[in-house]
């Protein structure tokens, strides 16, 4: 018989379906009891009795016998209960074997969530944390009674912690905690789940889910690595265009006692939160509002904006003594914002934009555009000589076409700056020579060695490294929003962080040049004197 844990059994009797972190390896009681499920009463009674005694192996065997006596269409829930009990008995191989008896699509909703959870718990028992993390539901949307366990296990699987640090938005506003009474009796006491902690507002369901997961995992990785105090409660705000869900989660986070709110991720939701006025607690929004909207007090904005790349490019160019630039940018909101950031910073440092040319977003032939901007005379082999650099705003596919045309029209010897979007992940001849500025996490493989080792196999970090680093730095910034802390200039994974105007976090980046053999880091001198616009 497996070792019996009396406190867990008492909590089971007192709390029914609620599983405390102290009993995290024991399946939820509601899954074992299967109230109202058809089947032979003796087998169910034996299973329930064994469960309450702490004999999870016996309970698993009894549920297995009940499953074998059921028609296939009705047996799935008994197999599920048998597998959950095997997890309680710390027998992961048996649990996974029993779960294989459950036909595909036999379970839906919360019951399918239980199946995913028991598989993840089994893999954790087999010391396969990354496989366990992948087995968990991507979102806790629609899984209210399982949400706390899912996020706790996700945190332990990804970051090797036994702390139940992450609690999803779908969990109830209070969770029971175990208090040891004088006579050794364990009694449930309700307390706010997030008192003094952090609320993380992210769109974990819908079209932004993958991006939000990377931010969440980076945030939690930093939470454990930095030894941060307090819980992190994760609120899924969905990806709807309107901000109603975000504002609702924001209000709930305040009622839950959050000391700091981090998020949301969508630009529209950030603007809607700022319109609520001065927040009751400090807020770190994970995007930037339009510059025309003023941020209320205690409302910081942090994002991976291409404007930061453009400003750093301007600083690097000015540091190289370059003073007159021509610019090629797409006729889009992204292109205009990036160009404006470059121009304003370049001018503040004494530079001048001699001419700007805007190209259509879907343009395929850049020969005429580039020839006119350079005032090139192909027959004479000449181009304009009144500029000493070019700033190109383009994604990789366009940057390659533009780079080829710049060389064709005799501008190959001019310094060409761009943004990180121009780099496609590996060098090519067309973009060779272009310079761009990006975060240290991407450009400097030797930086943050401990953090890289811990995050090397995380699916979200491998899929979205920039957003993982973004979440990591968001946690470091959020820690400065508590009493007694402050943010002046902080080296982070996403850059050298500092607070600019309107509560916007600015990132000083590293710069690199694309060469045929690979990226070469450029010396990045201190930012020249001049106000950041």
In 3-state terms, what secondary structure has residue 6?
Answer: helix
- In degrees to the nearest 10, what's the CA dihedral of 306, 307, 313, 317? 160
Q: What is the DSSP letter of 508?
A: E
Over the stretch 228-256, which tens digit does the pLDDT of each residue have?
777 888 888 987 777 899 999 999 999 98
Planar angle of CA 144, 145, 150, nearest 5 degrees: 85
What CA–CA distance (Å, rounded) separates 284 from 475?
A: 10
Q: What is the DSSP letter of 526?
A: P
* Dihedral sign of CA atoms 381, 384, 390, 391 in order: negative
Beta-sheet strand order (sheet of 495-499):
489-492, 495-499, 505-508
Q: What is the CA radius of gyration of the chain?
A: 28
Which alpha helices (DSSP H) does 267-358 contain, by range?
A: 267-274, 306-319, 333-348
The pairs formed by 353-358 with CB atoms below 8 angstroms and a separation of 24 or more are 353/325, 353/326, 353/327, 354/324, 354/325, 354/326, 354/386, 354/387, 355/326, 355/327, 355/387, 356/326, 356/327, 356/328, 356/329, 357/326, 357/327, 357/328, 357/329, 358/329, 358/330, 358/331
Place of tokens 């496989």: 131
Which alpha helices (DSSP H) does 72-182 contain, by range?
A: 72-88, 92-99, 109-125, 129-135, 147-159
Beta-sheet strand order (sheet of 299-301):
166-168, 232-236, 198-202, 260-262, 283-285, 299-301
Q: Tally Cβ neighbours within 10 Å of residue 523.
A: 9
Token pair, residue 249, equals: 């989660």
Q: Tally Cβ neighbours within 10 Å of residue 38.
A: 12
Token pair, residue 405, equals: 């045309």
Place of tokens 């449930």: 188
Instruction: Record the pTM.
Output: 0.68
What CA–CA distance (Å, rounded) separates 505 from 502?
A: 9
* Per-residue pLDDT, 531: 44
* SS3 annotation, 425-476: CCCCCCCCCEEEEECHHHHCCCCCHHHHHHHCCCHHHHHCHHHHHHHHHHHH
Q: Give the end-to-end CA distance of the chain in Å, rounded to a whole number.
A: 69
Is the Cβ–Cβ distance between 57 and 1 less than 8 Å?
yes
Beta bridge partners of 513: 435, 520
Helix or strand run (H / E) with residue 178: strand 174-180
* Per-residue pLDDT in tens (0 to 9) along the chain, 533 residues: 333 333 333 222 222 222 222 233 334 333 333 433 444 557 777 887 887 778 889 989 989 988 888 887 778 888 998 999 999 889 999 999 999 988 877 888 888 889 999 999 999 888 887 788 788 887 777 787 787 788 778 877 776 543 333 333 333 222 222 222 222 222 233 334 455 789 999 998 888 888 999 999 999 889 888 777 778 888 889 877 778 999 999 999 999 899 999 999 999 999 999 999 999 999 999 999 988 899 999 999 999 999 999 999 999 999 999 999 999 999 999 999 999 999 999 999 999 999 999 999 999 999 999 999 999 999 999 999 999 999 999 999 999 999 999 999 999 999 999 999 999 888 899 999 999 999 999 998 889 998 888 888 788 888 899 999 999 999 999 998 877 666 778 899 999 999 888 999 999 899 999 998 899 999 865 555 554 44
Upstream peptide bond of 264 is cis (omega within 30 degrees of 0)? yes
Rounded to 10°, the helix 109-125/92-99 angle is 150
* Per-residue pLDDT, 485: 64
Over the stretch 90-110, which tens digit does the pLDDT of each residue have?
999 999 999 998 887 788 888
Is the Cβ–Cβ distance between 470 and 215 less than 8 Å?
yes
Over the stretch 293-312, which tens digit does the pLDDT of each residue have?
999 999 999 999 999 999 99
How many alpha carbons fall within 13 Å on the CB side of residue 443?
Answer: 26
Cα separations (Å) of 63 from 38, 323, 405? 12, 78, 71
What CA–CA distance (Å, rounded) separates 519 from 516?
A: 8
């Amino acid at each position: 018989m497996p070792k019996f844990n009396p406190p867990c059994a008492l909590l089971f009797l007192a709390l029914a379906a609620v599983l405390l972190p102290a009993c995290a390896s024991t399946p939820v009681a509601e899954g074992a009891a299967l109230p109202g499920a058809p089947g032979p009463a003796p087998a169910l009674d034996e299973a329930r009795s064994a469960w309450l005694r702490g004999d999870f192996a016996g309970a698993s065997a009894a549920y297995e016998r009940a499953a074998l006596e059921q028609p296939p269409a009705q047996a799935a829930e008994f197999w599920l209960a048998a597998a959950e009990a095997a997890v309680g008995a710390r027998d992961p191989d048996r649990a996974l074997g029993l779960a294989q008896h459950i036909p595909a699509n036999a379970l839906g909703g919360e019951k399918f969530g239980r199946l995913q959870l028991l598989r993840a718990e089994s893999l954790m028992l087999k010391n396969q944390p990354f496989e366990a993390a992948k087995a968990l539901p991507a979102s806790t949307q629609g899984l209210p009674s399982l949400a706390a366990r899912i996020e706790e296990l996700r945190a332990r699987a990804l970051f090797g912690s036994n702390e139940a640090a992450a609690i999803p938005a779908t969990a109830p506003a209070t969770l029971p905690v175990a208090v040891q009474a004088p006579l050794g009796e364990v009694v449930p006491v309700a307390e706010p789940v997030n008192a003094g902690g952090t609320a993380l507002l992210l769109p974990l369901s819908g079209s932004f889910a993958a991006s939000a997961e990377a931010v969440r995992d980076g945030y939690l990785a930093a939470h454990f690595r930095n030894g941060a105090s307090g819980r992190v409660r994760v609120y899924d705000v969905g990806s709807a265009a309107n901000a109603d869900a975000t504002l609702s989660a924001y209000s709930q986070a305040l009622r839950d006692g959050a000391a700091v709110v981090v998020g949301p991720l969508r630009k529209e939701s950030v603007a809607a939160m700022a319109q609520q006025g001065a927040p009751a607690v400090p807020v770190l929004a994970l995007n930037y509002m339009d510059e025309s909207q003023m941020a209320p007090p205690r409302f910081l904005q942090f994002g991976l904006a291409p404007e930061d790349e453009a400003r750093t490019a301007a600083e690097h160019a000015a540091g190289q003594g370059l003073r007159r630039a021509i610019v090629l940018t797409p006729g889009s909101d992204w292109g205009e914002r990036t160009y404006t950031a470059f121009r304003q910073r370049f001018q503040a440092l004494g530079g001048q934009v001699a001419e700007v040319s805007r190209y259509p977003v879907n343009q395929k032939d850049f020969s005429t555009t580039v020839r006119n901007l350079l005032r090139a005379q192909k027959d004479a082999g000449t181009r304009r000589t009144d500029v000493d650099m070019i700033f190109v705003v383009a994604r990789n596919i366009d940057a390659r076409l533009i780079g080829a045309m710049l060389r064709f029209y005799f501008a190959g010897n001019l310094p060409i700056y761009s943004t990180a979007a121009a780099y496609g992940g590996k060098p090519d001849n067309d973009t060779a020579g272009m310079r761009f500025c990006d975060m240290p996490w991407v450009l400097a493989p030797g930086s943050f060695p401990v953090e890289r080792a811990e995050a090397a196999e995380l699916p979200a970090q491998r899929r979205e490294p920039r957003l993982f680093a973004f979440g990591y730095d968001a946690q470091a910034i959020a820690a400065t929003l508590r009493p007694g802390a402050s943010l002046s200039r902080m080296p982070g994974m996403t850059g050298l962080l500092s607070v600019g105007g309107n509560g916007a976090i600015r990132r000083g980046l590293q710069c690199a040049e694309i060469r045929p053999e690979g990226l070469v880091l450029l010396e990045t001198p201190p930012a020249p004197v001049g106000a950041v616009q």
